[in-house]
Amino acid sequence: MIYLNNAATTLQKPPCVAQAVLEAMNSLGNCARGAHTGELSAARTVFQTREALARLLGFSHPERVVFTANATQALNTALLGLLRPGDHVIATDWDHNSVLRPLYRLEKEGDVALDFLPADRQGRLLYQKLEGLLRPNTRLLVGTHASNLTGNLLDLERMAAFARAHGLLFLLDTAQTAGSTPVHMEKMGVDVLCFTGHKGLMGPQGTGGLCISPSVDLRPLLTGGTGVRSFERGQPEEYPDHLEAGTLNGHGLAGLGAAVEFILKTGVEAIHAHELELTTQFVRGLQEIPGVTVYGDFSGDRAAVVALNLEGWDPAAATDTLSRDYDIAVRPGIHCAPRMHQALGTQDLGCVRFSFGWYTTREDIHTALAALKEMSQPS
């Protein structure tokens, strides 16, 4: 199988990840739930994963790396924990439903007001409209580092400067970039950064989290056992316990820690360069195939995601054919990005998304292009 659906999850992972999970399942107890060897090993493993992520993401407070089950839970934790009745939020047309649905819920409940920075027909955000969206009660600016549909990268410098100039908090969704695109939370001026473990970080599913600047405090999304301060009626105020109720996914976090160490050793810059080379090869090849429409702006740096449609093909049928006849895995549909599809004019049809990873090869790209070329020929 040629796996080109890395924006959904990385199927191929470093061998050390599975090995770390297997060893953890046979040795780790419950983090912070005892003082025996198994429990202490779990606590050390979890903290080592926090430290590795902090190094990778440019964050100097590993104790404020908080673990969740995925980026969706991390974003819900951030949005529901930050926002208060009467707040106004500026989000963007690029945002995933993991951002949109919590915000729409808060809007429906009457707690917050929303505005969205629009994107044009090429998927480019119209940054010059930011000032016009500002209100006296604006509190939060939200952005996704890369569109999961077009792969275009957010102008982080401009967004962070706008947030600083107006005293706003800046929340960044790195679901499509953590591990595959250089990220430095503190240099970028990000207040809260959310990530998932199973995409560019190449870790197990069921892992994710958020990095929270010391200047920011969140109300807990979940409350419950932490293994410490058991007589307190509320969640402990200390991080990470403040936001980590219940048993952590120690086995998954052991695998995530191994994946992050692999990325640190390999170099995220090398991973990004490899994926960018493959994306460039793919886009150039598409230019030679009749009837292909490619979406997005390809003028600068980007994530390894390409969305397209092939004339005469429904996206679902094209995806099924690629899978059945060529054993190529891609993803059709709306990709949980409804506002982006509306901006591109593809809301009725959707599109086919190709996304590449560290284990994608030039031969994989060549085979995918050959398949699309065959499909473009009249039957």
Q: Would you list the domain boundaries of the chain?
A: 2-10+268-373, 15-266
Q: Do the domains 15-266 and 2-10+268-373 match in fold?
A: no
Q: Is the pLDDT of residue 53 over 80?
A: yes
Confidence band for 31, pLDDT divided at 50, 70 and 90: low
352: closest CA among 5, 3, 2? 5
Model pLDDT, residue 37 = 66
Sheet with 292-295: list strands edge to edge: 292-295, 305-310, 351-355, 331-333
| CB of 366 closer than 8 Å to CB of 141 | no
Superfamily of domain 2-10+268-373: Aspartate Aminotransferase, domain 1 (3.90.1150.10)
Burial 186-195 (b: 16+ CB within 10 A, else e): eebbbbbbbb
**Is cis: bond before 332, omega within 30 of 0?**
no
Q: CB count, 10 Å around CB of 267?
A: 11
Model pLDDT, residue 40 = 66
Q: What is the value of pTM for the model shown?
A: 0.96
From 58-72, 181-195, 198-212, 243-257, the region with the lowest mean pLDDT: 243-257
* Class of CATH domain 15-266: alpha beta
- What pLDDT, in 10s, does the model give residues 131-170? 999 999 999 999 999 999 999 999 999 999 999 999 999 9
Confidence band for 41, pLDDT divided at 50, 70 and 90: confident
> Could you give the percent of the chain with pLDDT greater than 70?
97
Strand ranges inside 145-196, DSSP E: 169-173, 192-196
Tokens of 153: 């990268």
Read off the pLDDT of each residue in 251-264 and give the average, rounded to a whole number.
Answer: 97
Read off the pLDDT of each residue in 9-16 and give the average, rounded to a whole number.
Answer: 97
Confidence band for 36, pLDDT divided at 50, 70 and 90: low
| CB of 129 closer than 8 Å to CB of 117 | yes
Rg of the Cα trace of the chain? 21
Model pLDDT, residue 39 = 73
Read off the pLDDT of each residue in 101-129 and give the average, rounded to a whole number.
Answer: 96
Model pLDDT, residue 229 = 74
Cβ within 8 Å of residue 109, ≥6 positions away: none
Burial 135-172 (b: 16+ CB within 10 A, else e): eeebbbbbbbbbbbbbbbbbebeebbebbeeeebbbbb
Cβ within 8 Å of residue 274, ≥6 positions away: 358
Q: CB count, 10 Å around CB of 217?
A: 12
Helix, strand, or coil (residue 369): helix
Mean pLDDT of all residues in the chain? 94
